[in-house]
Structure 1
Amino acid sequence: MRTVEEHQAVVRGLLAPLPIEDVPLGAAAGRVLAADLPALVSLPGFTNSAMDGYAARHAEVGTAGEATPVRLRVAADIPAGRSDVPVLEPGTVHRIMTGAPLPAGADVVVPVERTDGATDVVTITGSPAVGAHLRHTGEDIRAGEIALRAGTPLGAAQLGLAAAVGHAVLPVRRRPRVLVLSTGSELVEPGRPLLPGQIYESNSVLLATAVEAAGGEARTLHFVPDDVEQFLTAVRAELADADLLVTSGGVSAGAYEVVKDAFRELGTVEFGKVAMQPGGPQGAGTVDGVPVVTLPGNPVSSFVSFEVFVRPALRRALGHSDPDRLRTTARLTTPLRSPAGRRQFLRGRFDAGSVSQVGGPGSHLVAHLARANCLVVIPEDVTELPTGAEVTVVLIEGALQ
């Protein structure tokens, strides 16, 4: 029986880093930067005003107050975007807007609130310190400095920065193409009538959604016959465009386990058990040179197995510098029991440093899975935990509120 870490290493070794491609800035959301991104310009690119007010010489306005107002001629208007900014002459001010370039000769901006707001001769009744309300060239980042590191996920803030420092195209790792296959003769497409002994097929949409959330492109292969020869023919016909095949079901120890029977004939996929619950039966290898990860068929087992083994491998292949889910610690609100020799991944609700178990440990309890926002991790050598015990929780997405 493998440890969790041993099987993680096997799955991780199947997926090499994906090729790099250049994509337009507007299409890069959710992708992962594949190379360090230097700033092409400084931010700010020029010293500018942080306030609406008047650009002035501090030596001329520093004594201004309610009892000692200073009156100066307004020689120019400087709106944001003006490029022909005149020099500030002695004895004058320039009315200036937020973001507009500071004129040469000025060393302070007097906020409009400390003036009468006039446009010809302004009365100043208060003065900030020299250098106040200015944004200086390069105080955020200087041209040539690294704006974003390779491995950075590209969200709103990161894409905003990339645009601000001048990049229209970004180097990213290509999204992995993942073929998802759910097996089982008892499965029926949702929306169709069920006969006795049949259930609606849910793993393909569960896993395809998980693939997309991890950054991949999912394609599903539905209702492949539970016949070894037909199964292999159908699967091999779909592998040409895939970077990874993920299957669910057909890997346990019973009869009619078509995934195990079919891939064992090829001799390139290894099956075994991992010391975890749920999700003990696992398989990994290649088919026609394409990496394959076989997951158990119960929905919770499939989900947990994907989270533990497939998701981090996909994200590492995408170039994420930190491919794992966020983890934290929490205090149990109720006692827990766990079987010896198995790492337990229980569904939980994490809230403000506490965690409560959601439903039982059964791998068929998908409604409880949908209400969880974390997995509670119980080590292999722990069998009992009292209320208040500290545990590790893995924060997962997509939970109902």
Structure 2
Amino acid sequence: MVDETEKGTARILIVDDEESLRLTFEMFLTREGYGMVRTAATYPEALAAVRQQEFDLIISDIVLEGASGTDLLREIRAAGIECPVVMITGFPNLETAAEAVRLGAFDYLPKPINKESLLHFTRQALKQWRLLQEKKRLEAENQRFRHYLETVFRSVRDAIITVDNDLRIVQLNDTAREWLKIGKDSDLTLGTMAGELGEACRRDVQKVLRSHEEVREHRVECMKPGDSERILSINAAPLQDGAGIFKGVALVARDVTGEAETNVKGRRCRFHRFIGCSPAMQALYTLIENVGKVDTAVLITGESGTGKELAAEALHAESPRRNQPLIKVDCTAIPEELMESELFGHRKGSFTGADRDRMGRILQADGGTLFLDEIGDISPRMQLRLLRFLQEKTFYPVGRDQPIQVDVRVIAATNADLRQKVTDGTFREDLYFRLRVMELR
């Protein structure tokens, strides 16, 4: 169907040497809501019209004074005009129909034509035209996007390689060709990857093909062409299509020699957004790596400004949920009366000002991680609602009777002494232990 907005913007040209038909068709289409309907009585008038402006549909009699509708159709197509053309005739025959179709007519409509037939063919022709325009728009957009990606692919300084399930190299950029010594005419298989880097890449690709799991930060020492010994970091990940079907492996190798040289005696000085080489930081990095892989609640404690949010981001990045959302909630920034709606969402009309349904932060985090910053400041009522959610993994949006079940990992942070708050009776002990399955200090 053509919606009302499209009707209002549709530009239609009617070409017929019978004035009564022109005016009747114009009246039918205008009353139906089509915004701009123009008429032409002769072949020259029609040519002048299509040269003056663009049309979305042309409806033309096949018999015109001094020419024919097929002549007009031929001129239209020769000018590169692609809009649908519906041909009308009072004497249909196979030869004229075949000629019209060969020239690209949308359809062939015999007289007499009633209102329903005219409107039906108009709707169908405009629908096809809109679909064709949308297809062209998407193709042009995809082409621009492909050119952009190819530019990035060629210019990036890291080596990038994609390999299919049969160990054939599908794509590689110039950096990869240089580092792996693969010539332009070389056989693009894993066997063409030479040296220590090539061997490391082969092992990582084969590992991902077997396990369908990522290889991360595999560091190798090798000689780059025309250079001294370098340290390269390899990351390899499964390639999947939109349906989740495994298609191969994407591999990226990055020169980290400069970064490695800044490390102190082999220690990591950078970890996600953390910077630090001290023994305490090394212990924290290891703890985050280990805790991140365990799908359970974590409580992060520490003074303000000590990096609790960075720790939450790192835990999420190290977890199996890394490709799902990380939703952050600053409990001190949300007024008490809005906290319930902010976390659990609400239905339209559930309270004054609820003019539409709202998805809460918990539902936004479904499949991923919910980070509750400054958890020690929430009210007793919210403590109870949060406890029930942690126990049951279900919740009720404000104004809804049916529960919603989600799969969410909760990471909480506070600069308060929650143990003391429990002793003082201002924080629930059962919620404290639900949040503190594991703790980072």
TM-score, normalized by the shorter chain, greater than 0.5: no
Q: TM-score by structure 1 length?
A: 0.26
Structure richer in strand, relative to its length: 1
* Higher RCO (CA < 8 A, seq sep 6+): 1
Structure richer in helix, relative to its length: 2
Q: TM-score by structure 2 length?
A: 0.24
